Chain A
Amino acid sequence: MMQRRTFLQLAGYSALYGSLLADLGRSALAMEPGEIAGSDLDLHLLRRISFGPTPASLARVRDLGRAAYIEEQLGASDLLAETLTAALYPLINTTGSAIYLSTGAGFVVNIHQLELQSAMLHRALLSSAQLHEVMVDFWNDHFNTYIRKNPVPMKIDFDRNVIRANALGNFKTLLKASVRSAEMLHYLDNWLNRSGQINENYARELLELHTLGKGGGYTEADMKALSLILSGLGFVSDLPLSALAYGTVQFNASQHDGSAKSFLGVEFPAGGGEAEIDRALDLILAHPGTAHFIATKLCRRFVADTPPPALVERVAASFTATGGDIKAMLRLILNSAEFEASAGAKLKRPLEAMVGALRACGINQVDQIANTNLFGIPVAAPNGLLFNSLVQAGHEPFGWVPPNGYPDSADYWANSNTMLYQQKFLVGLVEGISFGYLLSDPVSFLTLGNSVATGVTRAKTPRQAVNNAVANLLFTPLPEAASAAALAFVAQDADPDAEMTNTELEMRVKGLVFVLLASPWFLLR
């Protein structure tokens, strides 16, 4: 009903405003993504290696220069953010048997998963080691497991010991850690892969999704050989041992196929036992197909949906030369000419769009309370605005069921449904109350309004509102036609430089901030 009245109040000028918009619409610019992203390379870097630029991160990269900033990020850790995360979500540090026991072997309702999801969002939002968090997200997609497949949420252990520990380390270590993790062995059914009852699920996806890639130089026969090699590799899952050591990876020789195998052109004599596994993994890791596939995926994440082939080749060569050093590959990508030329070539996925909006709006822990409508529970917590919106937009943390991980291209994400739930999130965010604004500037809070949107703009006139919103949210100017449309929206038929009443201005500023964060100028990266 409130909205209804708003419409009626707006009706008086909407005819005039509508014709103005129509005029602007006719002068379509038909811009290229690179033009929308602009020529600020510092900004471009931050859009790619963080969950969204903030005034502080932009100042830091301007101060250090891009190359030094990249080095800083490659070595960064944020102890404060980690301490805070662990304090807020203590269950993320539980280990195998503790997870097993505290979840009643998975038979009682547990909040472990929700704490892990919350911690992920919390770190993405607040950690200053942003590139590390971006890489954690990347590898969690690459080695995707679905958080709810195993009712005993070993994802907690996997995220901590496999992914986070190796996110900026070495791919070989990372791969081998993933193979010897209860989470992966359960997710891809290898714990039920037994001699005589061979289950091909893990062998196929290990080759196709984790290492060589489809067409990367293996055959169906190689896949079948690998499924035999992996047979018998499982983890402690049954009482009584599970109470002490649930999730401990173990090789059961009696369930291992003891026959001779041929894998990637190499003969494995009969009776090779557990040693066959590392031998096979080493063959996979030394294969040029693996270097090429990992290089392709990194370039897709950081450069463009269709990665430049020459860059992929150089990154693959770096993989081979360094034995899979992740930092070396990232250093090469982020300092490359191809990277510099790619501004605007990627679309933010919902996680980057929503967390990026929170970061742009300067939302901190205090504000998160206001936006959840759940007093005392931070916004990143499940049931909060961010978490629910990500679920609706199809990007719940660790929520992708199939093993290929969330898609990493605009082909998938540029659709009306994803955009819709992003917009609903933005409305909830910018129209909600900003406690951070209240605390930082109580006078303006009282005189200008109390929403996140007014906190971002802090304006008294329409022109100030548009200028401040563009500067604070986009960090880059809008084309004249677009800012004229925005100004017309806020000023309507009034003088754009005349002061407006709080009520009028606040309502329109809410719409303005929402529209800017829903525009290509915010969503391209």
Chain B
Amino acid sequence: MLSRRALLTLLAASGTAACGSRPGETTAPTVAPQAAGSSGATSSGVTSTTSTGGGTTAGSAAGASPHTLVVVFQRFAADWLNLLVPYGDPDYAALRPNIKVGNPLDLDGYFGLNPGLADLKPLYDNGRLGFVAATGWVPQEARDRSHFFAQSIAEAGARSGAYGGWLARVMLRDSHESTWAALAAESAVPASFQGYAGAIAVRNFADYQHGSVMGDAATALIETIAGLAGTPGERIRQLAEGMRLLQASPPPEPTVSYPATSLGQGLKVAAQAIRGGLAPRVISVSSEDDWDTHVNQVSRHAAALPNFAGALRAFHDDLGELMDGVTLVTMTEFGRKAKENLGGTDHGTASSMLLMGAGVLGGRVHGQWPGLSSSALYQGEDLEPTTDFRSVLGELLAGRMGVSSELLEEIFPGGYAAPANWRGILR
């Protein structure tokens, strides 16, 4: 763990960097073309919520017990057009003659859920799960169709000029005591935590001992020798420390079964950490549910979506009442082309985000639907992002994690996360 003082030093240093080095983003934030003055009832009939301030939710989180934010990253670009299906959009079926979802589970008369996500429908119906449609980068210069580049800037939370990953910037400004405060419930610490030295990767708590016959004595020697090495030994020392702590109080076993996928395993670890009192503040989880569907999309989704939904549902059910102190959000690096190719979809632009938790204003689809007509599509081929993903994350950080608006601007420079851009996604 970083010492308190080291944290403060880093905080100060990174704060300066974040404020002082973003010449490329000095222009005023582009306000999403959501016509904030007009009412939510658009011609498409979509529920369009605009910001309602959000100050009250931010205030109520301050005194409550520490909240946990779970961030699920759908790696390699999920085709949200076939997950949260805009069946009410007349262009949808025409663009996707072979791969369209013909029998979606209706959500609001315009959007429907892919039947493969049926496990999520009850949570939507009881208001604990919702969506923000057509999310991505509002500024056009940040849009990119490379998986690797798009993932790296999505995890940085800025096109340029910010220190490290966005979750690292959150953690550097957060006060917490736990060794497990920044938990990567996946194989490696993702780029979103880069720049925060305290993040710990755990894929399976049950494996978290080296198993040598020399037991604790070997752990102690590792800790000493790695400590002597200084920075190059920091991860090794941190692992030894984690082994000691978990041996003293092992986390509880799950109460439900999770799908055997990266997401299922990650959410299982996340729930164990929360239920075991390890007090995580931010947990990252990787969804590797076969999202890069250039070909054979229908059959691949049929296999992948029940696992995706099943993992989220298991996490929700496993936590029970503890879910009141947890908010989960999903993101992906970009959406996929509006028009299908030969049975699949190539790289596109806007996607959508899923929100889950007791504090989420669920049971509805937030945001503004730009439409799929050729004139509405970005560059004539992609869904246009109408909500910047940073406004969604910013509203969650403020409303559920107690982050002030000044700090929000340090975490997401450029004003994109400012209250004026919020969609009113929280209760």
Contact = CB atoms under 8 A, between A and B. Distances in A.
Nearest to B233: A520
Which of B202, B208, B218: most chain A Cβ within 10 A? B218
B201 A30 contact: no
B216 A7 contact: yes
A485 B213 contact: no
Interface stretch (A45-53, A106-114, A507-515): A507-515
Interface string B334-364: 0000000111101100000000000000000
A513 B142 CA distance: 50
22 contacts: A6-B214, A7-B216, A25-B223, A27-B228, A28-B230, A31-B232, A189-B295, A189-B344, A192-B294, A200-B341, A209-B148, A416-B201, A417-B186, A424-B211, A489-B221, A511-B212, A511-B217, A512-B221, A520-B226, A520-B229, A520-B236, A524-B232
B13 interface: no
B188 interface: yes
A342 B303 CA distance: 47
Given A3-B215, A431-B213, 5 more contacts: A29-B228, A200-B341, A419-B235, A511-B212, A519-B229
Contact of A401 (B210, B288, B342): B288
A137 B213 CA distance: 34
Interface of B: 75-76, 145-149, 184, 186-189, 191, 194, 199-203, 207-208, 210-218, 220-233, 235-236, 238-239, 242, 288, 292, 294-295, 341-344, 346-347
A510 B217 CA distance: 12
> Counting chain B CB atoms within 10 Å of each CB, which of A10, A419, A479 scores highest?
A419
Contact of B236 (A200, A404, A419, A510): A419
A416 B239 contact: yes
A177 interface: no
A33 B214 CA distance: 28
A523 B218 CA distance: 17
Interface in A201-226: 201, 204, 208-209, 214, 220
Contacts of A18: 220
Contacts of A192: 294-295, 341-344
Given A192-B343, A416-B239, A507 B213 contact: yes
Given A28-B230, A204-B347, A424-B207, A485 B224 contact: yes
B225 A394 contact: no
Contact of A510 (B214, B233, B235, B294): B214
A181 interface: no
Interface stretch (A159-167, A278-286, A406-414, A435-443): A406-414
Contacts of B186: 417
Interface of A: 2-3, 6-7, 10, 14, 17-18, 21, 24-25, 27-33, 36, 189, 192, 194, 197-201, 204, 208-209, 214, 220, 344, 392, 394, 401-402, 404, 411-421, 423-424, 426-428, 431, 479, 481-482, 485-486, 489, 507-508, 510-512, 514-515, 518-521, 523-524
Contacts of A220: 145
B184 to A, nearest CB: 7
A200 B346 contact: yes
B211 A17 contact: no
A236 to B, nearest CB: 18
A485 B221 contact: yes
B148 A519 contact: no
Nearest to A188: B294
Contacts of A33: 232
Contacts of B210: 420, 423-424, 426-427, 514, 518
Contacts of B346: 199-201
Contacts of A24: 224, 228
A220 B146 CA distance: 10
B207 A486 contact: no
Contacts of A198: 341
Contacts of B231: 30
A72 to B, nearest CB: 31
A424 B222 CA distance: 13
A2 B201 contact: no
A340 B229 CA distance: 21
A416 B242 contact: yes
Contacts of B223: 21, 25
A523 B189 CA distance: 18
B214 A31 contact: no
Contacts of A519: 222, 225-226, 229, 233, 236
B229 A508 contact: no
Contacts of A25: 223-224, 227-228
B113 to A, nearest CB: 27
Contacts of B147: 402, 404
A415 B217 contact: no
A418 B236 CA distance: 10
Contact of B146 (A36, A189, A208): A208
Contact of B215 (A7, A412, A413): A7
B239 A31 contact: no
A414 B203 CA distance: 15
A247 B242 CA distance: 49
A485 B218 CA distance: 11
A417 B213 contact: no
Contacts of A189: 294-295, 344
A27 B225 CA distance: 11
Nearest to B234: A414
Contacts of B202: 416-417
A214 B233 CA distance: 33
A414 B235 contact: yes
B295 A28 contact: no
Contacts of A199: 294-295, 341-342, 344, 346
B187 A417 contact: yes
A91 to B, nearest CB: 27
B235 A31 contact: no
A36 B226 CA distance: 11
Contacts of B203: 417
A180 to B, nearest CB: 20
A31 B233 CA distance: 9
A412 B222 contact: no
Contact of A404 (B148, B184, B188, B191): B148
Contact of A520 (B215, B232, B341): B232
B228 A418 contact: no
Given A402-B147, A510-B214, A511-B218, A415 B184 contact: yes
* Interface-centre pick from B148, B213, B230 (highest chain A CB count, 10 A): B213
Contact of A402 (B213, B292, B342): B292
A419 B228 contact: no
Contacts of B239: 416, 419-420, 423
A152 B224 CA distance: 50
A415 B201 contact: yes
Contacts of A423: 210, 239
A27 B212 CA distance: 27
Contacts of B146: 204, 208, 214
A482 B189 CA distance: 28
Contact of A420 (B208, B227, B228, B341): B208
Contacts of B230: 28-32
